[in-house]
C-alpha cells in the first residue's frame, strides 16, 4: 500500500513537472502583459514535432535536437510577441484575447500542415527500468523529471537572481515605473516570450518522449497549464511550481485509486475547490 502510494507520487511528479514547465511560461507572460496566451500549448507541440523531425529525419542527436528546438521556440516566441501581441498592447483586453484564440488555431493548423496528422513519439535510448525499494522508476521518467527540474530551477534563479530577472519582475509589478528606472519594457516583453516559449517547447519534447506528440494534445496541455495558474495563484512562480506538482500528483492518485477515466474530472474538482476556498491560489503571488 505504502509502495503504491510512493509509486503514484513519483508518477505524479513526472507529469506535474511538465505541467509546471507549461505553467511557468503562461504565468510569466500573464504577469507581464496580462495576456492569456492560449497558443502556448500549440507552441509546445510545435517544439515536439520539430525535435522529432530533427532526430528522425535529419539524424541529429537527442540533446542537440532538444537544445535546437528550444532555441527555435525562443525565436518563435519573439515573433509571436512582435507580430501578434505588441500591436494590441494598448488596446482593450478583448483584443489580445481574440488574437490569442486566433494564434492557437493558426499554429495548430500549421503543425498539421507541416508535420501531418499522425502522432509521433520521440525516440530515446532510455529503456531501462529501475526499481527502488519496490517503486518502479523507468529510466526515461527519471530523466524527464530531472530535465524539468533543472529547467525550473534555472528559470527561477534567472528571475530571482539576475538583473534581467529583476527587470522582468519590475515590469510585472509596476510597468511605467520600470521604464523610469531605465528598463526597456519592450525588450523585457520579448525576453519573456522567448524564455516562456523555450520552456514550452521543452515541455513539448518531454511529452513527445514520454507519451506522444499529436493533434489535440495542445488543448489539454494549455487547459492544464491554466489550471495550475489557478491552483498556484496568477503571476506567481512558486505557485506554478507547487500548483504543477499538486495537479500532477492528484491526477496520478485519481487514476490509480479511482479510475483513469475520472482523472481529469477529479483534477478539475480540485481546481474548483481551490477557487472556492482560496481564490488567491495556494501560494498567494508572494514573489512574482
Partner 1 sequence: MLEVSNLRIGYGLAEVVHGVSFDVQAGECVSLIGPNGAGKSTILKAICGLLPAMGGEIRFEGQSILGLPGHRVAHRGISMCPEGRQMFPEMTVLENLQLGAYSRRREAIKDDIDEMMTLFPRLRERSGQLAGTLSGGEQEMVAIARALMARPRLCIFDEPSLGIAPRVVDEIEQTLLAIKARGVTILLVEQSVSMALRVADRAYVLEAGLIVLEGPSADLASNEGVQNAYLGY
Residue ranges binding partner 1 (CB under 8 A): 163, 166-167, 169-170, 173-174, 176-185, 285-288
- In whole angstroms, the minimum distance from the beta carbon of 262 to partner 1 comes to 38
Bridge partners, 131 (sequence order): 136
What angle, rounded to 10 degrees, do the helices at 185-210 and 139-161 form?
Answer: 170
CB of 235 to partner 1, least distance (A): 9
Nearer to partner 1, 173 or 260 (CB): 173
Find the DSSP H helices in 116-162: 139-161
Which residue, 221 or 234, is less far from partner 1 as judged by CB?
234
Shortest distance, position 167 Cβ to partner 1, whole Å: 7
Within 13 A of 270's CA, how many CA atoms are on the CB side? 24
Q: Rounded distance, CA 193 to CA 184, Å? A: 15
Helix (H) or strand (E) holding 129: strand 129-132
In this complex, which beta carbon is closest to partner 1, that of residue 161 or of residue 279? 161
| CB 32 to partner 1: min, Å | 13
CB of 183 to partner 1, least distance (A): 6
* Closest CB to partner 1 among residues 133, 163: 163
Distance CA 167, CA 212 (A): 37
CA 14/CA 233 separation, integer angstroms: 21
Q: Are 196 and 40 in contact (CB under 8 A)?
A: yes
| CB closer to partner 1, 110 vs 287 | 287
Amino acid at each position: 500500500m505504502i509502495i503504491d502510494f510512493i509509486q503514484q507520487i513519483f508518477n505524479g511528479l513526472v507529469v506535474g513537472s511538465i505541467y509546471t514547465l507549461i505553467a511557468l511560461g503562461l504565468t510569466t507572460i500573464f504577469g507581464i502583459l496580462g495576456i492569456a496566451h492560449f497558443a502556448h500549448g500549440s507552441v509546445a507541440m510545435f517544439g515536439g514535432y520539430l525535435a522529432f523531425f530533427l532526430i528522425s529525419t535529419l539524424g541529429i542527436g537527442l540533446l542537440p535536437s532538444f537544445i535546437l528546438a528550444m532555441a527555435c521556440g525562443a525565436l518563435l516566441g519573439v515573433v509571436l510577441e512582435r507580430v501578434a501581441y505588441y500591436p494590441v498592447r494598448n488596446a482593450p483586453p478583448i483584443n489580445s484575447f481574440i488574437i490569442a484564440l486566433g494564434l492557437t488555431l493558426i499554429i495548430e493548423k500549421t503543425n498539421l500542415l507541416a508535420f501531418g496528422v499522425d502522432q509521433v513519439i520521440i525516440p530515446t535510448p532510455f529503456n531501462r527500468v529501475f526499481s527502488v525499494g519496490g517503486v518502479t522508476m523507468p529510466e526515461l521518467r527519471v530523466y524527464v523529471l530531472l530535465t524539468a527540474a533543472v529547467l525550473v530551477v534555472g528559470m527561477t534563479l534567472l528571475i530571482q537572481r539576475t538583473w534581467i530577472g529583476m527587470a522582468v519582475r519590475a515590469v510585472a509589478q509596476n510597468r511605467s515605473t520600470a521604464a523610469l528606472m531605465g528598463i526597456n519594457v519592450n525588450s523585457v516583453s520579448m525576453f519573456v516570450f522567448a524564455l516562456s516559449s523555450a520552456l514550452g517547447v521543452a515541455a513539448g519534447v518531454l511529452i513527445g518522449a514520454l507519451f506522444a506528440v499529436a493533434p489535440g494534445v495542445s488543448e489539454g496541455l494549455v487547459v492544464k497549464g491554466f489550471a495550475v495558474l489557478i491552483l498556484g495563484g496568477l503571476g506567481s512562480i512558486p505557485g506554478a511550481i507547487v500548483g504543477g506538482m499538486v495537479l500532477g500528483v492528484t491526477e496520478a492518485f485519481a487514476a490509480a485509486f479511482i479510475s483513469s477515466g475520472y482523472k481529469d474530472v477529479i483534477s478539475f474538482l480540485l481546481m474548483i475547490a481551490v477557487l472556492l476556498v482560496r481564490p488567491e491560489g495556494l501560494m498567494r503571488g508572494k514573489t512574482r
